[in-house]
Structure 1
């Protein structure tokens, strides 16, 4: 229990540091361009502690669910004093404003990369260069699913074995479509019960095409309901060097490649995020919680506790790196009050002024943020509502990696 609580505390601390560094990215870039930073706070709500250094008030607020960096004149509607006017953000060149608004995103990307680099040189990361081509590790019969962990007894070699698939075969494609890994093979088969698939198989350096008729079997979905799914009776052989420790120099390229893979997965996760909210709501009322669904600070910290309890420090740090990547890309969504929304406004001003010049007109001036307030309030309300839903789910039905 002590190790679990330590992990919860450390991951919560890691989240706080992640937020602090995000806001520091805005602050450092703002100061680099001579902008005035009024306040740098971690958290929202009533001030717990603060101190003033120069023109900036640093502080911690009561609600640790975010933070902010208050830069003078972020918009034309933000009043500035006579002393602040030369340092107001709105009076700086557009490209400087974009860099400052992107400073938090850049900081999270750097932090995530550095965390992964540390893991790569100390214990090892999933090897981005590993050959993940589906390789047959076992050929077996197929049967219906009895419960979450049990399949019914069966005999024979299964559809793949009957078609001539052997252990060690590399399955390169299905119906001419290349396969990146075994999961792609599995998903394609699951969706086509009863169909005949043409597999491109490599054996001893030679390739051939094998027709396999997919068996229709009963499987249980996340809600425990029976569904019909496809199966051909193959399992994947272990991937050689699936996790690899790298030297200090080679780890730079490996970490960069792995970071790219994680960013791609994060984008896919963001795109699927809205569709997963109903499942989170259902979990509050007893439905099974999706381990790949969204988690709040509470849920992520609990998972961090589970990892530390089992001494899985490499997974702990990689999850913290993934959090940094999520925060970076989420903030790029072009809607206020997110950083991406502010960047979109600056770019809109630049494009608008370009077309005004073509018409022989002068710059149109800063955008009126008051017109964006309905969108800002609506977005803030959605984020708050979703955040509360996920927090409640993480309390009453948390994600558990280890049962």
Structure 2
């Protein structure tokens, strides 16, 4: 239980660090380009701790499930501010906008934005930056998550390595225990294991089986499984010297499983079985370090996989909701909430496995989490970073169009008009998040 809690805590710390780096990816270019940044906060809700450095307040909030930086002038000023500073005269409205709920939301967004402006002539604001600088600032956060994922995958694959079954024999069984029994010890009536009878020993390195050279244990195992009752010549290297042994795999009955390791059943629901060859040898497992480019390659492969899930998010969440109601098994490759990720982290940390295996599992989980943060934030909808990038691109297209036809520069795009769309997106995200959290509590995805 303690190990499970430690795993959850490590995930929360890793998530907070990922969020901190994400916001740092926004903060650094924003300050570099001269934007006035009022706050850099990790988390939401009540402030636990904060300290001001220069013009920016840095701090932590109670709920470490997000973060933000507060930049001056994310949007152009409202007509009220323009009139107050002399940029316009008369005819403006103050207070809440008329026209209903969404119009009020637009006005509230403009009011909140106006509070970050010192004056209409203030140049240290986000909306006055060149388009490319605005895109760099908004890309900085997601790109930081992608870079962190690349580093984590590089540590995992090139630093620790991939757990691989080698051609070295770890152990040799003494006997063949009949299928369907719970015994782990040999009985007098049990036949001697074929590998034991052939004289194979722990530490032997398999060179070839039945005249076929093998580079992996899987290749040797495939030949043995396909040869029940047939004598095979196995060449092994022992203490630097080649030895030949005659191995006759015994036929055993095993269930047929699919690519996920689940039993295959026939039309009547009866598990299917097959006869395979059994030798009684266990492979030695080792970590094989991959080339340095394996980390970036794995990261971008995961980007494609996660993008496929995010693109179908409403459908995937609906399917998850159905499985929650019906009790059906969930798609292991479907979306998870932070609760689900915490459960997986706890399972990894408390697994009955070597410490290195558990460390590798946590690194893989955190790397995948950062890939999800990268992909999700690139969705071109406000309030996500991708939405701000889309607004900047639209502003750039308008300016380029005006320049092409020698027209006056257009006014900056007023993204506050998109607040109703933002509101709908936020409500949808909250609803989908609630479904996933409930599913992760009552019908969780498990590693084991």
TM-score, length of structure 2 as denominator length: 0.63
Is the aligned partner of 1:317 residue 2:357?
no
Matches for 1:282-293 after TM superposition, within 5 Å: 282-285=322-325, 286-293=327-334
Structure 1 equivalent of residue 32 of structure 2:
32
What is residue 100 of structure 1 aligned with on the other side? 137
Closer, same or farther: CA 88–121 of 1 in aligned 2, 3 Å: same
Which residue of 323, 337, 361 maps to 2:383? Answer: 337
Q: Deviations over 1:278-303 (max 9, x none)?
A: 23213433332332221111110111
Name stretches of at least 5 consecutive residues in structure 1 with no aligned partner: 141-153, 159-181, 191-215, 221-225, 235-240
Alignment size in residue pairs: 320
String of CA shifts for 1:214-239, please: whole Å, max 9, x gaps: xx94397xxxxx9xxxx9999xxxxx
* Alignment partner, residue 66 of structure 2: 66
Matches within 5 A, 1:207-246: 217-218=266-267, 244-246=288-290
Q: Map of 1:354-373 to 2, 5 A cutoff?
A: 354-373=400-419
TM-score, with normalisation over the residues of structure 1? 0.70
**Structure 1 residues 368 and 7: CA distance shift in structure 2, 3 A:** same
SS of equivalent residue, structure 1 residue 280: helix
The counterpart of 1:376, out of the listed 422, 429, 434, is: 422
Unaligned ranges ≥5, structure 2: 78-112, 165-214, 228-251, 277-284
Three-state SS of the structure 2 residue aligned to 1:38 is: strand
Q: Which residue of the partner structure matches residue 305 of structure 1?
A: 346
CA separation in 1, counterparts of 2:33 and 2:4? 44
Equivalent residues of 1:42, 1:66 under 8 A apart: yes
Query: C-alpha distance in 1, partners of 2:312/2:445?
Result: 18
> In 1, distance between residues paired with 2:121 and 2:343?
44
Q: Structure 1's 20 and 89: CA in aligned 2 closer, same or farther, altered over 3 A?
A: same
Q: Distance in 2 between matches of 1:84 and 1:254?
A: 50
Match of 2:434 among 385, 388, 400: 388
Which SS does the other structure have where 1:86 is aligned?
Answer: coil
Structure 1 residues 63 and 219 mapped into 2: Cα distance closer, same or farther (>3 Å)? Answer: farther
* Residue of structure 2 in register with 1:75 after alignment: 75
Partner of 1:165 in structure 2? Answer: none
For 1:112 and 1:369, locate their aligned partners in 2 and report how far apart those are by CA, in whole Å. 31
**Cα deviation, residue 83, structure 1:** 10
In structure 2, relative to structure 1, the CA distance for the partners of 1:17 and 1:381 (3 Å cut) is: same
Partner of 1:218, secondary structure, is: coil
Q: Deviations over 1:253-277 (max 9, x none)?
A: 2222222222222222222332221
CA RMSD of aligned residues (A): 3.7
Aligned to 2:126: 89
Other-structure match for 2:372: 326
